[in-house]
Structure 1
Amino acid sequence: MTIDFIEDIFSSRVRIRILRTLIKYKEVNITKLSRELGINHKVIEYHIEALKRLGVAEEKRFGRIRIIRLSENDPRVLAIERLFTELEGNNET
């Protein structure tokens, strides 16, 4: 991971909250994400687009429903998940 990547991914509290929620649920639609976090839908969309550009999030569409998830098997995503697990004290090892 480069410094630029780290700065971009952790540049916002909203982005960090989105990452934590995606780690928790694995997949979630944008409406549920917005409600769960209490953040405006457009703000959520902005940060989801940033995460997609960084390559750590993916989107599936089913008509108007948009499902967001973290990119599977991406070593950076796995490192982020481990980081959050360690910081939250939920390490099972």
Structure 2
Amino acid sequence: MPPDLGQGASQAFEDAAALTRHLTGAEPVDVAQRLLCYDAERRPRANGIMRAASRQSRLTSQTGAAAWVRDMLFRAVPSRLAVRQLAALWRA
């Protein structure tokens, strides 16, 4: 998980909560199936956050003229839109 969105530890906490939900009361014979269910639940969100963090990393690591253009474009984005996009990351 790239650190650019500060989500690594948050995703670990979400994983721990999901694992607890899926494994509580499981018999040894049930563990493999429950882990598959956990994976199916968590993978889409975790992969989405990881892709967003990777995009953010590529965007913020630009230098020179590319960084100047990036900064100009960011200044042109209405703050309401920027806040809405960031808030979407934390929706469950």
TM category, shorter = under 0.3
Higher relative contact order (CA 8 A, sep 6+): 2
Higher helix proportion = 2
Q: Which has the larger radius of gyration?
A: 2
Instruction: Give the structure-1-normalised TM-score.
Output: 0.27
